Structure 1
């Protein structure tokens, strides 16, 4: 594997930061939080700290004793682990590939084996595939900002792509499966950031890899997820076609069939076919979801809130805001703070606007805007723009 032109400790700092999905500004804030009150008052501005982090990661200078201690506190590591750890090879391959270095997740042996496989794909085996599946699961959480998930998983896709081209046949199919799931998740994250073109391009990659793997359930899952990209594109026929193709695909497990029927209901709502919409929603509600037997080793996700969220969207499309409000308020009462919740809050504001409750709509919209900024929920912000011309007024009042 090629050498790097910066000190190992500098590459390690960058790898640990990126593995936590922190920007340089985030790390500067973490250093400030790690300082005691007296020291905090002596630290430079966040802008200056971000520049200092850039300089340290470039190896231009090593952090002094004060900042070394703050780094250790921020990363919850000791100085030997952070600045003079023995796993130089691990640091090297993470630095060169951009694949996140995840603290406390893998053994030194797993890191070394994966690094060797990156260097020589013929060494890739089941443990290599398991390594990347673990990474994918770790960065599939909805509490992570979509743009940062893209940055973390795009290098993973590139590495798997290189491995599967040159690996032995026994591991090839497993790598294709993981590649498809990785691409599908990146597609969804681009969708959440408002970039539909990139979302569709990554969806194409996911579908191609699923076909190449010969995994019919994964093909059906990817088709159903692609249908979800079409919910506001004004083409109900295309959405319905994708959803039907997913649920009629061979071997579709019951939870996946239910998800496909929900997306099909969306298409019927967009087309104004109220009876068909309700029929598909009823069918999806009757289908087994959580706990259904599914022995396919795929990172399928069937979140419990999905049925209600899509049902509420259908009701908004069909101009039944009161029913949508009832569903969304119930589900949002204990919802976590993430980009999905931000979008559902924006939909609730939409429903209140349709119900001519402008004051309630504005109040919910302010909360949705705040959470959208906090979580990077660009799609939620687009929903807010659809229903209110005075988003800039909320933004200005929120900032004060």
Structure 2
């Protein structure tokens, strides 16, 4: 990395500092332009490619982009593109404190005129957010996105408009963070990545304001997972590490295990096998750690089976199918068939692992079940995985079972 110009490293570091994806960076540059300049900017996908080149130091931004960058980051152009060394790396606390710096929708009005929030209202809202989580076990993103964001909007308005004690305000911020996590997850499942990222950031701000490090780490880890499918795997690794830092060593076992799992997945996507395997081992150790307190309800789904599935997915991503296939086969043999989206997703990983293990007939059989399960599931995640499975099977198209599958599903 030493041959990358200081300004290129600086552009990348500042974007990550703000937890912006390259797609969001493109939007920020466009927003920083005046009407005349904006009309001359390229399409969003082309601008994202340009950002990738700039951050790699392949090309230096030309007019009008230096000015747009300086406006987006709120920095002097010479400071941003000068020849001095790259900015020092900010730690996760510094970076995360900037998430809502531009506009915080959780800022209460100076004079609250609404009704006072009581314990019963807070309990009802906690029950509703958990009900959304349970609904997500059996329904997909496009089925849940409207109720999820309706509930989140109600909680935010209640915090801003109502009168409440300091303790009730903190509890309400936690509820907003929990609503933001499930709403962000639902938006991601509906294929609305930018909306998911914005929602997670709202939740992170709420969790931080409430002083809840465990919830903040849960949201940051969710954001890390959301961006892991993007063009910059290192971004997901940085966010997953920030989630682990936010959790701290005293977080509940399931929270720590999930943070390590997210970090393992991010490293697998980045192709770092050694870091992946280390993180998977840390997740196992974290889950069995003694803990005398009560774990948050939103961690109910984190168990040995989920850790085993993540191991298998990571091994599949690293092209180690002989490790992945036995793990997935074992878990799927007892998986709840009512959770059709998750079952379809995990079957897709098994189909890919079998293809990588040179077992095309069995891979085609598993893929057929996956595609049948996901046919009526309104999930962008299952749709993407279906495309991955069919693409991976293309090299076996001369095998009768595979050829039949490809003809049936294109």
The equivalent residue for 2:294 is 295
**CA deviations over 1:102-137 (Å, ceiling 9, x no partner):** xxxxxxxxxxxxxxxxxx842321110111111111
TM-score, normalised to structure 2's length?
0.63
In the TM superposition, residue 383 of structure 1 has moved relative to its aligned partner by 1.4
> Pick from 176, 187, 201: which aligns with 1:190?
187
The equivalent residue for 1:137 is 130
Partner Cα separation in structure 1 for residue 124 and residue 329 of structure 2: 40
> Pick from 146, 149, 162: which aligns with 1:151?
146
Note if contact 1:343-1:377 (Cα within 8 Å) is conserved in structure 2.
no
In the TM superposition, residue 373 of structure 1 has moved relative to its aligned partner by 2.4
The equivalent residue for 1:372 is 374
The equivalent residue for 2:274 is 275
Question: Match of 2:230, SS?
Answer: coil
Question: Match of 2:251, SS?
Answer: coil
The equivalent residue for 2:335 is 335
In the TM superposition, residue 392 of structure 1 has moved relative to its aligned partner by 11
Residues 1:185 and 1:289: Cα distance change in structure 2 (over 3 Å):
farther
Residues 1:314 and 1:169: Cα distance change in structure 2 (over 3 Å):
same
The equivalent residue for 2:172 is 175
Partner Cα separation in structure 1 for residue 213 and residue 116 of structure 2: 28
Partner Cα separation in structure 2 for residue 376 and residue 293 of structure 1: 40
The equivalent residue for 2:351 is 349
**Number of equivalent positions:** 280
Write out the 4+ residue segments of structure 1 that deviate beyond 3 Å after TM superposition.
Answer: 289-298, 389-399
Note if contact 1:366-1:398 (Cα within 8 Å) is conserved in structure 2.
no
Partner Cα separation in structure 2 for residue 264 and residue 203 of structure 1: 17
CA RMSD of aligned residues (A): 2.6
Note if contact 2:253-2:289 (Cα within 8 Å) is conserved in structure 1.
no
Unaligned runs of 5+ in 2: 1-112, 395-401
TM-score, normalised to structure 1's length?
0.64
Partner Cα separation in structure 1 for residue 271 and residue 327 of structure 2: 20
Residue 168 of structure 2 corresponds to residue 166 of structure 1: no
Note if contact 1:262-1:284 (Cα within 8 Å) is conserved in structure 2.
yes
Partner Cα separation in structure 2 for residue 145 and residue 323 of structure 1: 29
Partner Cα separation in structure 1 for residue 342 and residue 206 of structure 2: 27
Residue 119 of structure 2 corresponds to residue 126 of structure 1: yes
1:1-400 equivalence runs, <5 A? 121-141=114-134, 142-170=137-165, 171-249=168-246, 250=248, 251-288=250-287, 292-295=291-294, 299-304=298-303, 305-337=305-337, 338=339, 339-389=341-391, 394=405, 397=408
In the TM superposition, residue 194 of structure 1 has moved relative to its aligned partner by 2.7
**CA deviations over 1:238-294 (Å, ceiling 9, x no partner):** 222122212222443222111111111122222332222111111111113598444
Partner Cα separation in structure 2 for residue 290 and residue 264 of structure 1: 19
In the TM superposition, residue 234 of structure 1 has moved relative to its aligned partner by 4.0
